[in-house]
Amino acid sequence: MKLGISILGDIARIMDAEVKAGEKAVTAAMRSAGTGIKTAWRAQITGAGLGSRLARTIRSEQYPKGRASLNAAALVWSKAPVIVGAHDTGPLIRSKDGFWLAIPMPTAGKSLRGGRITPGEWERRTGMRLRFVYRRTGPSLLVADNVRVSKSGRVRENITRHKDGRVSSRLKGRATAVIFLLVPQVKLPKRLDLARDARAVENALPGLVVAHWRGTR
């Protein structure tokens, strides 16, 4: 028995068409993969209660730009990598100088520069001095003496300044308020698992390539 094979059409043209179809399929698959990871990471961040602003720092880009390629790649990253990375790994945070980490209480208010207020900024802004209170059990404290705490939680100096320059202290409402907790270190809880979503997309990538390749026919 004899078997014969005949090729219909131009083999070079057929192979060239297959290569172009492959380039389009891989490029489309990588675009879908990059978008998929970006969407999943943003959903994780908002789902963890970290806010939509941080979620929007997740971006994606495809390479090469403007053309299809069998070597297409997608890059997904955050414009706030330190913050996102910290919530992804749950690191142990220590003070840079080896002393204390100052955790502001609601009485400390907010920083005018964004982020958490520091003891130095609080003293400059209020004109009051903080007093260190060491505790053998539990966090040590930075407190403000002779203050009044309003219903809104704001701390005011409990003194009266007279027109002649005299300063007198009021007795009524006088209190000591805790402004900062001092701890040697803090373990940030792990609230994200970005690798999980990346693995899921990676496992689905071959199927995406095949699906897009079939779609080019």
Q: What is the pLDDT of residues 81-111, one digit of tens each?
A: 999 999 999 888 777 766 788 889 888 888 8
Under a CB-based contact definition with an 8 Å cutoff, are residues 155 and 147 in contact? yes
User: Which pLDDT belongs to residue 173?
Assistant: 54
Which segment, 2-6, 149-153, 203-207, is predicted with the most confidence on average? 203-207
Find all residues with CB under 8 Å of 77, minimum gap 6, and list them: 58, 59, 60
Q: pLDDT above 70 covers what percent of the chain? A: 82
Domains of the chain by residue range? 11-90+190-215, 93-187
User: Which pLDDT belongs to residue 100?
Assistant: 83
Mean pLDDT of 35-54: 95
Cα–Cα separations (whole angstroms), residue 106 to 41, 50, 125, 217: 31, 19, 16, 63
Top-confidence residue, 91 or 210: 210
The whole-model pTM stands at 0.65
Top-confidence residue, 65 or 112: 65
Q: How far apart (Å, rounded) are the C-alpha atoms in residues 84 and 108?
A: 26
User: Which pLDDT belongs to residue 162?
Assistant: 53
Under a CB-based contact definition with an 8 Å cutoff, are residues 155 and 184 in contact? no
User: Which pLDDT belongs to residue 30?
Assistant: 95
Top-confidence residue, 176 or 196: 196
Given a cut of 60, whether residue 14 has pLDDT beyond it is yes
Q: How far apart (Å, rounded) are the C-alpha atoms in residues 144 and 177?
A: 5
Q: Where are the alpha helices (H) located in 56-117, listed in sequence order?
A: 81-89
Q: How far apart (Å, rounded) are the C-alpha atoms in residues 168 and 47?
A: 52
Given a cut of 60, whether residue 164 has pLDDT beyond it is no
User: Which pLDDT belongs to residue 71?
Assistant: 94
In this structure, of 23-37, 68-82, 114-128, the range with the lowest mean pLDDT score is 114-128
Under a CB-based contact definition with an 8 Å cutoff, are residues 84 and 54 in contact? yes
Residue 22: helix, strand or coil by DSSP? helix
Q: How far apart (Å, rounded) are the C-alpha atoms in residues 63 and 34?
A: 11
Residue with tokens 């919530």: 87
Average pLDDT, the chain: 84
Top-confidence residue, 171 or 63: 63
Report the alpha-carbon angle 166-121-182, nearest 5.
110
Q: How confident is the model at residue 188 (pLDDT cuts 50, 70, 90)?
A: confident
